Amino acid sequence: MIRKIVCIAFLGFDSDRIYLPYRKYGAKKLYIIKRRKHDHKVAEYNYRRIRRNVPKRRIHEIIAEDDVFVRVNCLKKIFEKEKGNRIYVNVSTGSKLDAIAGMLAVMLFKDKQQITPFYAHPEKGGRRGKVYFSETTGLDRTQEVYPPDLQKPKNGCHDALRIIFESRHPDRKGELLALRKQEIVEELCKKGCIKGYAYLKGAGFVKADKVKDVRNDLRRHTKKRKIPGLRYYASGAIHSADNNVFRPLKKTWDAIEEEDRPKNKKVSLTKNGKNLCKILFGRAGLPPLEEVT
């Protein structure tokens, strides 16, 4: 059940195109995404106009770096926070980069909840003053935009990307590690992402339908060689992961590269893979988003 309506807008050189749609949709919250606490003086002038027309308790000011990956991740966090609510994303304010980030975030995450991007058409252009001005005035209409579906990595591929992206060199801060393929498959099996296989501490790779029996035998301290039907299924699990995870990530997404060696290969992210991870998971090493109000 939808509890309330939420509007999200990027701060730019407009004010009417932010607070008038907020009123039109009957929203209970208005998220304003800014580049810094004290933004450009024209943007701050328009922000003051917004604050005069929207109750202070309903405005949530967010500081997010002027970077498309950061802004997509910022929207993702707001979507997660407002899960269950109807969300409207204003893609008519802010910069072109903000509009791209807004549409990209909607295409990536709209399947999980009700998110609608819209464009606010102004009544007329504003008068450009020497210091303070608004680029447009009034609101003629709002036009909802229907973005196309965006193909995303499937669950196993998504989890594999996260595992690689979150691995960091212990000495060189922030540097990504190249992981052994078997290490990645272990983590995927623990999460249940490789069909037919699981990974148990003390037993290694096992068939998924034998997990309960093997776990019970391990609790009884049965020696591994005496557990009925227990075999080391590493090669089977890796082969399955090759077909269903690593090959799509390599061929379809150009997201990973593997060492050119026959066994125990290392897997690392390509430039394209790093950018994909930044969009899906946020940029590593950045401070958390700062909500000012």
Return the residue matching tokens 């980030």: 101
Phi-psi region of 138 (alpha: psi -120 to 50; beta: other; left: phi over 0): left
Task: Tell which residue, 166, 133, 115, has the closest CA to residue 277.
Answer: 166
Q: What is the pLDDT of residue 173?
A: 56
Between CA 105 and CA 101, with CA 92 as vertex, the angle to 5 degrees is: 25
Task: Tell which residue, 34, 17, 244, 243, has the closest CA to residue 125.
Answer: 17
DSSP letter string over 179-217? EEHHHHHHHHHHTT-STTEEEETTTEEEEGGGHHHHHHH
Query: What does DSSP say about strands 124-125 and 197-200: parallel, antiparallel, or unpaired?
Result: unpaired
DSSP letter string over 229-252? T----HHHHHHHHIIIIIHHHHHT
Q: What is the pLDDT of residue 135?
A: 85
For each of the chain's 293 residues, which pLDDT tens digit applies?
A: 558 999 999 999 999 999 999 999 999 999 999 988 777 888 999 999 999 999 999 999 998 888 888 899 899 999 999 988 999 999 999 899 999 999 999 998 887 788 999 999 999 876 666 667 788 889 999 999 988 877 888 889 999 999 999 886 555 555 677 899 999 999 999 999 999 999 988 888 888 888 888 888 778 776 766 676 667 788 899 999 999 999 999 999 999 999 888 777 899 999 999 888 888 887 544 444 555 44
Does CATH place domain 5-149 in 3.40.1160.10? no
pTM of the complete model: 0.77
Note whether 281 and 72 are within 8 A (CB).
Answer: no
Burial zone of 177 (CB within 10 Å; 0-12 exposed, 13-18 middle, 19+ buried): middle
Q: What are the residue ranges of CATH 3.40.50.10770 in the chain?
A: 5-149
Q: What is the pLDDT of residue 168?
A: 67
Angle between helices 96-109 and 68-81 in degrees, nearest 10: 50
- For residue 213 the two structure tokens come to 């029996």
Residues contacting residue 270 through CB under 8 Å, at least 6 positions apart = 254, 255, 256, 257
Q: What is the pLDDT of residue 267?
A: 94
Note whether 279 and 158 are within 8 A (CB).
Answer: no
